[in-house]
Amino acid sequence: MSTETSSYIVENATCTFCGCVCDDMFLTVEGNRITKAKNACVLGKAWFAEHTVEDRPFALVEGKEASTAEAVEAAAEILAKARFPVVYGLSDTTCEAQRQAVAIADMIGANIDTTTSVCHGPTGMAFQGVGESTATLGEVKNRADLIIYWGGNPAESHPRHFTRYTLTPKGMFTPNGRKDRTVVLVDVRRTPSARAADIFVQVKPKTDFEVLWALRALVNDRYVSPSIEEETGVSLDTLRDLAERMKNCRYGVLFFGMGLTMTRGRHFNAGALLALATDLNQYTHFVAKPVRGHGNVTGADNVVTWQTGYPFAVNFSRGYPRFNPGEFTSVDLLARNEADAALIIASDPGSNFPHEAVAHMGRIPTIVLDPKRTYTTDLARVAFTTATYGINTGGTVYRMDDVPIPLRPAFPSPYPSDEEILKAIKARIRELLNLPETAIF
Amino acid sequence: MSSSFRIVNGKVHDPANGIDGRIQDICVQDGKIVADVSPEARRIDVSGMVVMPGGIDMHCHIAGGKVNLARKLQPEDHRLDVHPRTPFTRSGTGGTVPSTFTTGYRYAMLGYTTAMEAAVAPMGARHVLEELNDTPILDKGYFMLLGDNLMLYKLLKEGRHEEFRQAVAWWFNAGKAYAPKLVNPGGGEPWKHRNSNVVNLDDEVDYFDISPRKIIEALTTTANDLGLPHPAHIHCNNLGIGGNYETTLNTMRTITGRRAHITHIQFHSYGGEFGGKPTSKAKDIAEYINAHPEVSADVGQVMFGHATGMTADAPLAWMLQSVSGNKWVNCDIENESGCGVVPIVYQDTNYVHALQWGIGLELFLLSDDPWRMVLSTDHPNGGSFLSYPKLIRLLMDRQFRNEQIRSVNQRAMKSTVLLDDLEREYTLQEIAIITRAAPARLLGLQEKGHLAPGADADITIYMESENKEEMFTTPRYVFKDGRLIIEDGEFRSDHEGRILHVAPDYDPAIEEVIRPFFEDYYTIEFANYAVGDEYLHRHQVVPTTDQ
């Protein structure tokens, strides 16, 4: 490993911590750690500071230290033998690794699912139902004069969303930046993001759907009863004002978060919001966009879609992809004790899945790829230590608006990348299953 | 696996070399057609079969951002049409917008070995290249959307023509694209300004003091000047609107003296009052093209059944949404373009749909020069590429065609010449032109679309049959790069095709002209914008005329 003597700067590096995927980082690298991350937000700074090269075993098999090759052998044997393996995670790794993960799932007839199923999965389902009018973030910067955030707290979850993409930047048709925009926040509580808004609308918990549907009615000149206030905590006058602002803006945007998708109504909420944005295009230009969390969860949606036709919750057990959230979503499948092996990539379901699902992962042979020790690595039969994407490895990630961004690794890691490990596992499974070598994908 | 073959006793259709159904041997070695092979080469007897170059789809939508949105949008389309894995090929799903692997395999199963994705914004270059790399068998490239590019607008508005040319060349290198694409030129910007559009070629594009005509002239000229293998590829203004044939004629008049390709021209051949009920003007369009050798076109045939409208013409997608009430996707792409997606079902009882179907057939049948009016359905806009065999039967089989014509909306047919029992039946040689030789020539792919020594060994062999739909649905053998991919109608091997792209020379000083625009108006850093070679994998740079 390098020593303190080597210090250099990596320009235009990409932060993969959240879905903003800011690619304007100036990283100061000293030895095998990043000592300064210029332009990073508080979350990005922590991400860069904490991903050093730690002295961890290359792998653990049954709790004992092992080489990567030994762990590949163990993992391949588990997966080749499994009758109902699940592949899960994928939102904090490169598209290159995601492509390998889907290839493995296809080859062994596994279930594959991503963290989308526990964040914006309902948005994916709503999208299938009603479509989506959307835009890249630069269009918001250049054009938007009305920006509405619904069910999210970007000030704390995506700190640079406001400053790099949406509220304050000066754009082509927004030369005065923040002064050229009206900003609305809709949420069930007054979060720190409310300070950035001109208008804060507080909705009673579990009534987002009703508020969205009332707005659709008003936008389409339908009757809405004044009792809406009692129901939702939002007065009819407030809704009328909001509806008028939406119809009369030049370029409007509805950003939405998990406050909408993971509360009562789920995909109905997301569908109502997307339908509202569509309706508004009768009057003006209006777009909507989920504010995605993990650095490459959007890439996972894209890769799984282009390889299978579906964005998440895909099952290959019949030899071709099938999609059914609820049946093929990992939480449900694990909690029903259906899986007999698990391959978890760059995700920690051990820390955030419901108890039944986590308990089942502990009972079956579970394989984990992660740069860090996590709840999931602790319960795993095989745990690989991996290089960190964006810090140690190159590759591609998709920003929350589907824009692909390249990674510029800051310093090398002694540990292999997810892609390298998955390729090795794939090759070994192919041998174990006696599959022809003519396969290339 | 053998890498050299001698294919004997086949009836060879190789129009580029003037071979029309002659029985002759075709020899293959190391991925290329050769004059002779050693006696050890595998000998394949194809008596009673027809040998053609591999099919080339010069305009389809198979990969990239809008295609993936369309895939994600339609689970119902995939569920009904699955594509199982084999021990060496990947699984996937079909429908009108298949997954990437299924797209490659199904094109190969039709005997197609090259396909061009027709519309990608430069910002989506990495995405389309990643998807194309996951599209097996085929050689492929993509057309880059440049007709709504605001940096280019700025240079055009300020009359900086040399810098315009340099910027276009830079963009091709930055995005690894194949050809310049214009879609409803000038329409993207007004769409983003409260859903408006341009109508006439001389309308002013909001805020930029230029017009669709200026954009068309500038990009057509630049493509010619740069010596690109394929010229400006133009989706005209007013697609699908009654009375739009005048816009199409005006566009073709605008490019006079320069090479250009007008795409899915069927959608642009409508008479009637502007914006009103359309009638057929296929005759006028075909006559113009017959008389103007600098213009080529693909038809964009409509086929009845499911289709998916997907286009960088976002105002058009909004119109389709308004007409159909179907689910709708729109995506604005900063400074460059946008797109829209709407599922469609073409019905033979519907006047407009039947008229569109009829106009496509008229264009094929009234066109004198098959080298300049080639086959496409604008997949999946007019219908899936899987419908090509049926379309070929409509062209080759007068009796079948007349039966079909009599079974669809008759009011629509009365607007066409199809009720006159047109005698023309395409020959196998003409089919080989409109599906192979002509697309290769129009794309400037000198090693494709023919079977002379030196050509890529992309070969399709069909069992000759009276029913042309059956014949073209299931080729008996398909070779790609000299590898036997399909034998006796079954997959024998997987294969990684090439990315085809151009790399015109440019003066690096142009980067300092473009960079400030990025800093002001883009949200991706200029340094991270250009696509690196790691996205190309197997690839081939197709030279410009000066290279």
Whether residue A221 is contained in a domain is answered as yes
Q: Provide the domain limits for residue A159.
A: 121-290
- Regarding whether A158 and A277 lie in a shared domain, the answer is yes
Whether residue A91 is contained in a domain is answered as yes
Q: Where residue A150 sits, what CATH number does that domain have?
A: 3.40.228.10
pLDDT tens per residue, range A222-242: 999 999 999 999 999 999 999
Asked if the Cβ–Cβ distance from A130 to B327 is below 8 Å, we say yes
Burial class (CB in 10 A: 0-12, 13-18, 19+), B488: exposed
Asked if the Cβ–Cβ distance from B329 to A281 is below 8 Å, we say no
Q: Where residue B167 sits, what CATH number does that domain have?
A: 3.20.20
Asked if the Cβ–Cβ distance from A23 to B528 is below 8 Å, we say yes
Burial class (CB in 10 A: 0-12, 13-18, 19+), A125: buried
Please state, in angstroms and rounded to a whole number, the distance separating the CA atoms of residues A131 and B310. Answer: 13
Q: What is the mean pLDDT of residues A209-231?
A: 98
Please check whether residue B325 touches A, CB under 8 A. no
Asked if the Cβ–Cβ distance from B71 to A318 is below 8 Å, we say no
How many angstroms separate the CA of residue A283 from the nearest CA in chain B? 7
Please state, in angstroms and rounded to a whole number, the distance separating the CA atoms of residues B91 and B88. Answer: 10
**Predicted local distance difference test score (pLDDT) of residue A6:** 78
Whether residue B308 is contained in a domain is answered as yes
**Predicted local distance difference test score (pLDDT) of residue A1:** 45
A-B contacts (CB, under 8 Å): 207
Domain boundary among A275, A290, A305: A290
User: Measured between alpha carbons, how far is residue B517 from residues A213, A405, B529 in Å?
Assistant: 41, 19, 13
Is pLDDT above 70 for B97? Answer: yes
Please state, in angstroms and rounded to a whole number, the distance separating the CA atoms of residues B453 and B432. Answer: 18
Maximum distance among all Cα pairs of chain A, rounded to whole angstroms: 71
Please state, in angstroms and rounded to a whole number, the distance separating the CA atoms of residues B404 and A365. Answer: 60
- Regarding whether A225 and A99 lie in a shared domain, the answer is no
Please state, in angstroms and rounded to a whole number, the distance separating the CA atoms of residues A245 and A14. Answer: 36
- Regarding whether A426 and A309 lie in a shared domain, the answer is yes
- Regarding whether A334 and A211 lie in a shared domain, the answer is no
Whether residue B492 is contained in a domain is answered as no
- Regarding whether A269 and A145 lie in a shared domain, the answer is yes
Please state, in angstroms and rounded to a whole number, the distance separating the CA atoms of residues B352 and B299. Answer: 17
Q: Chain A partners of B126 at a C-beta cutoff of 8 Å?
A: 396, 404, 406
Is pLDDT above 90 for A3? Answer: no
Please state, in angstroms and rounded to a whole number, the distance separating the CA atoms of residues B235 and A388. Answer: 44
Write out residues 32-91 of B within 8 Å (CB-CB) of A.
63, 65, 68, 71-75, 78-79, 82-85, 87-91
User: Nearest-CA neighbor of A306 among B31, B1, B62?
Assistant: B62
Q: How confident is the model at residue A5 (pLDDT cuts 50, 70, 90)?
A: low
Whether residue B421 is contained in a domain is answered as yes
User: Measured between alpha carbons, how far is residue A153 from residues A139, A279, A293, B439 in Å?
Assistant: 21, 25, 11, 53
- Regarding whether A272 and A172 lie in a shared domain, the answer is yes
- Regarding whether A257 and A330 lie in a shared domain, the answer is no
Nearest neighbour of A127 by CB, restricted to B73, B97, B134: B73
Residue type, A274: L
Asked if the Cβ–Cβ distance from A440 to B136 is below 8 Å, we say yes
Q: What are phi and psi of A162, to 5 degrees?
A: -65, -45
Q: Chain B partners of A24 at a C-beta cutoff of 8 Å?
A: 525
Is pLDDT above 50 for A2? Answer: no
Q: Are strands B55-60 and B112-120 parallel, antiparallel or unpaired?
A: parallel
Please state, in angstroms and rounded to a whole number, the distance separating the CA atoms of residues B80 and B96. Answer: 11
Please state, in angstroms and rounded to a whole number, the distance separating the CA atoms of residues A341 and A322. Answer: 19
Q: Provide the domain limits for residue B165.
A: 56-450
Whether residue B126 is contained in a domain is answered as yes
Helices (H), B255-350: 282-291, 314-324
pLDDT tens per residue, range A322-337: 999 999 999 999 999 9
The total number of structural domains in chain B stands at 1
Domain boundary among A249, A266, A290: A290
Q: Chain B partners of A14 at a C-beta cutoff of 8 Å?
A: 528
- Regarding whether A419 and A358 lie in a shared domain, the answer is yes
How many angstroms separate the CA of residue B480 from the nearest CA in chain A? 15
Is pLDDT above 90 for A440? Answer: no
How many angstroms separate the CA of residue B67 from the nearest CA in chain A? 9
Please check whether residue B331 touches A, CB under 8 A. yes
Please give the structure tokens belonging to residue A232.
Answer: 């939702």
Nearest neighbour of B88 by CB, restricted to A164, A287, A436: A436
Please state, in angstroms and rounded to a whole number, the distance separating the CA atoms of residues A111 and A138. Answer: 36
Q: Chain B partners of A128 at a C-beta cutoff of 8 Å?
A: 72-75
- Regarding whether A256 and A226 lie in a shared domain, the answer is yes
Asked if the Cβ–Cβ distance from A404 to B99 is below 8 Å, we say no
- Regarding whether A337 and A417 lie in a shared domain, the answer is yes
Asked if the Cβ–Cβ distance from A320 to B63 is below 8 Å, we say no
Q: How confident is the model at residue A439 (pLDDT cuts 50, 70, 90)?
A: confident
Whether residue A424 is contained in a domain is answered as yes
Is pLDDT above 60 for A4? Answer: no
Whether residue B229 is contained in a domain is answered as yes
User: Nearest-CA neighbor of A23 among A416, A441, A403?
Assistant: A403
Nearest neighbour of A138 by CB, restricted to B318, B341, B523: B523
What's the CA angle centered on A152, arms A151 and A157, to 5 degrees?
165
Nearest neighbour of A131 by CB, restricted to B87, B150, B327: B327
Q: How confident is the model at residue A436 (pLDDT cuts 50, 70, 90)?
A: confident
More confident residue, B206 or A189: A189
pLDDT tens per residue, range A114-158: 999 999 999 999 999 999 999 999 999 999 999 999 999 999 999
**Chain A interface disruption, residue of B3, B138, B150, B332, most A CBs within 10 A:** B332
More confident residue, A438 or B171: B171
Q: What is the mean pLDDT of residues A11-34?
A: 97
Residue B233, classed as helix, strand or coil, is strand
Query: Which residue on chain B is closest to A96 by alpha carbon?
Result: B130
Q: Chain A partners of B194 at a C-beta cutoff of 8 Å?
A: 250-251, 284-285
How many angstroms separate the CA of residue A379 from the nearest CA in chain B? 32
Asked if the Cβ–Cβ distance from A406 to B192 is below 8 Å, we say no
Please give the structure tokens belonging to residue A418.
Answer: 């997810």
Please state, in angstroms and rounded to a whole number, the distance separating the CA atoms of residues B167 and B215. Answer: 14
pLDDT tens per residue, range A46-87: 999 999 998 999 999 999 999 999 999 999 999 999 999 999
Chain position carrying tokens 């009430």: B325
User: Nearest-CA neighbor of B179 among B224, B128, B127?
Assistant: B224
- Regarding whether A284 and A144 lie in a shared domain, the answer is yes
The total number of structural domains in chain A stands at 2
pLDDT tens per residue, range B463-517: 999 999 999 999 999 999 999 999 998 999 999 999 999 999 999 999 999 999 9
Whether residue B75 is contained in a domain is answered as yes
The answer to whether B52 and B13 are in contact (CB under 8 A) is yes
pLDDT tens per residue, range B344-371: 999 999 999 999 999 999 999 999 999 9
Please state, in angstroms and rounded to a whole number, the distance separating the CA atoms of residues B362 and B343. Answer: 26
pLDDT tens per residue, range A170-181: 999 999 999 999
Q: Give the mean pLDDT of chain A.
A: 97
Q: Chain B partners of A141 at a C-beta cutoff of 8 Å?
A: 334, 521, 523
Whether residue A387 is contained in a domain is answered as yes
Q: Chain B partners of A124 at a C-beta cutoff of 8 Å?
A: 72
Whether residue A42 is contained in a domain is answered as no
Q: Chain B partners of A129 at a C-beta cutoff of 8 Å?
A: 327
Asked if the Cβ–Cβ distance from A134 to B331 is below 8 Å, we say yes
Q: Chain A partners of B496 at a C-beta cutoff of 8 Å?
A: 440-441
Q: What percent of chain A has pLDDT over 70?
A: 99
Please state, in angstroms and rounded to a whole number, the distance separating the CA atoms of residues B280 and B278. Answer: 7
- Regarding whether A228 and A170 lie in a shared domain, the answer is yes
Please check whether residue B195 touches A, CB under 8 A. yes
Is pLDDT above 90 for B3? Answer: no
CA B261 to the chain's CA centroid:
11
Query: Which residue on chain A is closest to B322 by alpha carbon?
Result: A282
Whether residue A7 is contained in a domain is answered as no
Whether residue B411 is contained in a domain is answered as yes
In this structure, the number of other CB atoms found within 10 A of the CB of residue A64 comes to 9
- Which residues are CB-contacts of B223 (< 8 A; sequence separation ≥ 6)? B168, B179, B180, B230, B231, B232, B258, B259, B260
